[in-house]
Structure 1
Amino acid sequence: MKLTIQDVIQHLTTDITLPENTVDQLLIGSADQDVQGIFVTFMPTHHVIEHAVRLNANLIIAHEPPFYNHHSQTDWLKNDPVYEAKRTLIQEANVAIYRCHDAIHRYQPDGITEGLIQALGWSAYVEQHRPEADILSFPGGTTVQDIAHHMKKTLGLEYVRVAGSPTMDCKRAAVLVGFRGNGSLTIPLFQNEELDLIIAGEGFEWETPEYVRDAVQQGKEKALIMMGHAESETSGMKLLADRLSTVFPTVPIHFVADQPIFKVL
């Protein structure tokens, strides 16, 4: 029995109410195309697309857009050589790209957060699943430094960024993936959930980091770990690939992650 791209989209969005201005859509390709193979990734980079072509995968399911802005607008990129080269690669390869962003964040629990928590081996520490964050309780004697080192080792990260004291004991923390590290989300959590630590993907650097700095200067024990946007969300897309492999066992399904975008010099 043939599997079409629409069949895959239907599975990804079953029982999910997408927002009116959702970014989840088939950005490139036709929904009635037969699926030969699926590539699941966080970011559909030029390298990822080339890799998909080599493995004869004609559907890429990506969490983020291929063309450098949240709503996948391309008018502003007209005649840009990088955009044109990537667009040509996609067209010539006849690869379809479906963006799975809003739906996976609306899974119960949030599919991206769940992937990160499972990858870190922290499922037993989760006290509460919230739409924007998971609330965790760590065993006694766990320090911010212990948590940071565990994240680096387990996820293969070159670095994470820490604000606050690395040797501070951490009993309660919140994990916020992606671009959820802004003050409007994190600062109320510190107070309402009596948190010691926020672990986030990224956010405005003049908000949560500065709040933590002021808290520390006032003698309050608070800390922040910023791990990077892709670093916080890639594991969720890998979990999605694993689940799709179970649902569609006759279709080759691959997960691929590109190299980290930033280097420490």
Structure 2
Amino acid sequence: MRVQIQTVIESLIAPVGRLDQTVDTLKFGHPDTEVTGIVTAFMPTQYVIEQAKARGANLIVAHEGAFFSHHDDTAFLHKDPIYEEKRQVLEASGIALFRFHDYYHRYKPDGVTEGLIQSLNWLSFVKEHHAASSVLHIPTETVSGLVEHVKKCLDIPYVRVVGELGLECSKIGLLAGYRGGAQNVLPLFAKEQLDLVIYGEGPEWETPEYVRDAVYQGKHKALIVLGHAESEEPGMKLLADRLTSRYPDIPVHYIKERPIFQIG
């Protein structure tokens, strides 16, 4: 069965309904083009674009923007050589690019968070889903044990930790992506009486400093910071699995990038 790019897009936004304001639009390509293959990725890096082309895919569904701006603003990149080369590579490839950020975060539960929980093998431990977070009650484990579990399940080389590694935890708050700011996390710590919060990214002078003071006061609190990509990539892998089931005749590939940071 022939499937057009717009058909795939409509299927992705259907669980939410069309939003009046969103960054989720078709950035490159034509909606009437027949889909020959789909790639899902957290970030449409130049590597991902080239891998999509090598696999014969002509549609990339990416969570974040291609050109280093959440709102896909490129005016400030005029004549920037890195931007120009990447744009030319994308245009020459003939690959369509659809941004899938706002809709996916509005799935119930949040599709990105669901992918993270699934990758951590914690689906059975979910107590409650909120709009920007999930609360889990897991079998008691130390922070150090959870660090090793997270690294193994997500296939990542490191995380960052605030708090005592020997602290035993069972009540966990999980926030994917850039949701680690104080306004999201601190009320969650208090309301849910959490031992530990795990998030992707957030201002370092907010939640980490709160946890530092909590530890100094003798309170049992800890924080694990995964990294933005590391917390959201599992959601895009989950999306690839769903698209494979929905379109069994179309090759679907999830492409995971290498960690962006190195430990110096």
Q: TM-score, normalised by structure 2?
A: 0.98
Deviation at 1:15, TM superposition (A): 3.3
CA contact (8 A) 2:15 2:107 kept: no
Give the AA of the match of 1:164: G
Between the aligned partners of 1:136 and 1:19, the Cα distance in structure 2 is 30
Distance in 1 separating the partners of 2:155 and 2:2: 38
**Alpha-carbon distance, 1:29 to partner:** 1.1
The 1-side partners of 2:15 and 2:144 are apart by 40
Cα distance between partner residues in 1 of 2:138 and 2:193: 13
For structure 2, the 5+ residue unaligned runs are none
Q: Shift of residue 125 of structure 1?
A: 1.1
1:135 corresponds in structure 2 to 135
Partner of 2:217: 218
Could you say which residue in structure 1 is the equivalent of 2:31? 31
The 2-side partners of 1:147 and 1:199 are apart by 10
Q: Aligned partners of 2:255 and 2:120: how far apart in 1?
A: 19
1:156 Cα deviation from its structure 2 partner: 1.3
1 CA distance for matches of 2:123 and 2:130?
A: 14
Choose between structure 1 and 2: higher strand proportion.
Answer: 2
Q: What residue is the counterpart of 2:170 in the other structure?
A: 171
Q: How far 1:34 sits from its partner (Å)?
A: 1.1
Task: Provide structure 1 residue ranges, at least 5 long, that are not aligned to the other structure.
Answer: none
Q: Deviations over 1:180-201 (max 9, x none)?
A: 0010000000000110111000
Give the match for residue 22 of structure 2: 22
1: distance between equivalents of 2:17 and 2:208? 34
What TM-score do the two structures reach when normalised by structure 1?
A: 0.98
| CA distances 1:43-96 after superposition (whole Å, capped 9, x unpaired) | 000000001111111100000000000011111111000000000001111111
Kept in 2, the 8 Å contact 1:119–1:235? The answer is: yes
Letter in 2 for 1:247: R
CA contact (8 A) 1:183 1:208 kept: yes
- Does structure 1 conserve the Cα–Cα contact (< 8 Å) formed by 2:43 and 2:64? yes
Poorly superposed stretches of 4+, deviation over 6 Å: none
User: What is the match of residue 231 of structure 2?
Assistant: 232
- Residue identity (%): 49
- Residue in 1 that maps onto 2:258: 259
Deviation at 1:163, TM superposition (A): 0.2
Q: 1:146 to 1:23 in 2, by over 3 A?
A: same
Conserved 8 A contact 1:18-1:102: no
How far off its partner does 1:170 sit? Answer: 0.5
Aligned to 2:246: 247
Q: Give the drift of 1:108.
A: 1.3
Deviation sequence 1:216-261 (CA, Å, 0-9, x none): 1111111100000000000000000000000001111111011010
Letter in 2 for 1:8: V
- Alpha-carbon distance between aligned partners in 1 of 2:20 and 2:177, rounded to the nearest angstrom: 21
Residue aligned with 1:44, SS: coil
Deviations 1:143-198 (A, max 9, x none): 11111110011111110000011110102010000000010000000000110111
**Cα distance between partner residues in 2 of 1:219 and 1:146:** 21
Kindly provide the amino acid, as one letter, of the partner of residue 259 in structure 1: R
Deviation at 1:18, TM superposition (A): 5.0
Find the residue that maps to 2:85 and give its secondary structure.
helix
Q: 2 CA distance for matches of 1:125 and 1:18?
A: 32
5 Å-filtered alignment, 1:194-209, equals: 194-209=193-208
Contact 2:233–2:256, Cα closer than 8 Å, also in 1? yes
Is contact 1:61-1:100 (8 Å) kept? yes
Q: Deviations over 1:110-133 (max 9, x none)?
A: 111111111110111111111111
Quote the Cα distance in structure 2 between the aligned partners of 1:89 and 1:18: 30
